[in-house]
Structure 1
Amino acid sequence: MVLINHYWDVLMKRKIIKQSGRAYTITLPVKWIREINIREGDELNITQLNDELLVSAHAHKKEKKIIKLDVPEGRESAIRTIIVNAYRSGFDIIEVVFKGKKQILTNTVDTFLIGFELFEKSKNQFIIETVSEPSYENFENMVNRMIYLLQEIFEILPEENIDNLVYKVQKYDNFLKRCISKELFSIGGATFLWQFLSNLTQIARLAYHFKKSLLKNKKTFDKKVKEIYVMLNEMLELLKKGYLKKDFNVLSELHSFDQKINENAEKLIMQNPLIVHPILTIARMIYLANSPLTGYLHMHSFKK
């Protein structure tokens, strides 16, 4: 249903006209065009309200969402969790009372939030607010980028540092979840997508800790480990294809990979636990990611 809003008091139903390709148009009465003083080439604002579209000649600014947090001193990860989830929840201004080191807040904002900056209001009082968020229209591109980053992580993991790539995955995850929370546009299967994003981020985090373990214990891949690692990358490729092609049938092969990897898992773990166990854990997380992705693809198909 499309509602044309005129001074908030007149509603009119209009037919949707199919154009060439995948475009659709609606028409406006000449009387409204003259009264509102708009002309050919002007831009209108369209807001989605559940299953309705509100078309307006003027932008309607939403009030900024503000949250006040009294953040206790503690581990940096605990502090980060509090700040990041306020950001994910869609708050535009995060007022923070914090008696710890300012650098902890600075690191969190710079590393894990997109488009936000930290300002010191007074002693132990800070404001974290949006200054230059990217367009929410980039949502789909960011999901794609997140998947490609994961592949890059596993391509270079045996030989190179992956820290910055993992941080980027987390940063994209936080922004994409912020988009979902703010409901700025319709996402079919948002719950499934949220879980899928969480799985992707968890895969990146597992890779991060795996890399740290390799460096600490000075371990390298033997022939058997390389074979499993190749399968892990093939599983990730299937996950990517399933999402990009919006085809859940592609994901069925993940079940075969999961079974194959686990056939000799116990024996391999006993031979090389410090390397094999983390790889199997990552492979399992990739496998688990196919469930929410399948649900999301079902909803995506249903919307069409």
Structure 2
Amino acid sequence: MPFFSRNRNLLILHGTVLVWGFTGILGALINLSAVHLVWYRVIIAFVTLFIYFKATRTSIKLPGITLLKLFFTGALVGSHWILFFQAIKSSTISVALVCLSALTLFTAILEPFISRKKISKLEIFTGLLIISGIILIFKFETKYTLGISLGLCSAFCASLFSIINSRQVQKHPASLISFYEIGGAIVWISLYLLISGGFNSSMKLHNSDLIYLLILGIICTSVAYVAGVSVMRELSAFRVALITNLEPVYGIMLAFLFYGKKEHMTLGFYTGAVIILSAIFIFPYLKNKIEKHRIDKLLPQV
């Protein structure tokens, strides 16, 4: 791959991850409940992706059984986003982002059972490090117990639909998977709002809310997703995974930039956050090394 093409894709990927990190800022700025916020977000994202498919003349046809699976997975996607934004509103952006990093822990626990894979010692070790970081944060940030719990639940939902998607993406385009899951999320959230009486005056948008929601739905969801998928054609999965792990780092830096003292946490929080983020960064590096070593052992000696 040419030098400039590789660097261009790396720049796009870093920009995409930075945009994803910005979603926490928008969640804190929008004056809506988490459920209403996500309802608007998924509608805007769905419409934007539909326009993108029409403009690029992309077929959106999928088998009926696949559509049904993606529809139900959409409930997990919607729950993940609602819990994440509620975690922000119940604590801080930094707390929500660090707790979301526990996705690696839940995946290490759940994937062997769901996909019937052999349990990885490296994944268990990484999970134990993340658990120690979470316990430390719980110990020092007791006033944010609800936010931490919601953040962890959000990570759990994200882990479940990520494992499901890892199977679907082997058969269908990632963009279509996202499109139909977002569509499913719209239906499930709408049903919840209908049953709970959530379609009321509290959904009214202020001008600033509308602007932030458009940024969240179009740039932070649709555009960022398409950009993130496009670079995967030229960058290795390892490099993509490593850079994607920067999302909580970028998000916390942006939170400090926008909110300053409000995002200031205790030393215990930062110690726990460093343990969690270190585990997440070390995991793909060690995994790559182990896989490379296995391949080298299988190759014939010259």
Q: TM-score, normalised by structure 1?
A: 0.30
The structure with the greater share of residues assigned to helix is: 2
Q: TM-score, normalised by structure 2?
A: 0.30
The structure with the greater share of residues assigned to strand is: 1
Larger RCO of the pair (alpha carbons < 8 Å, separation 6+): 2
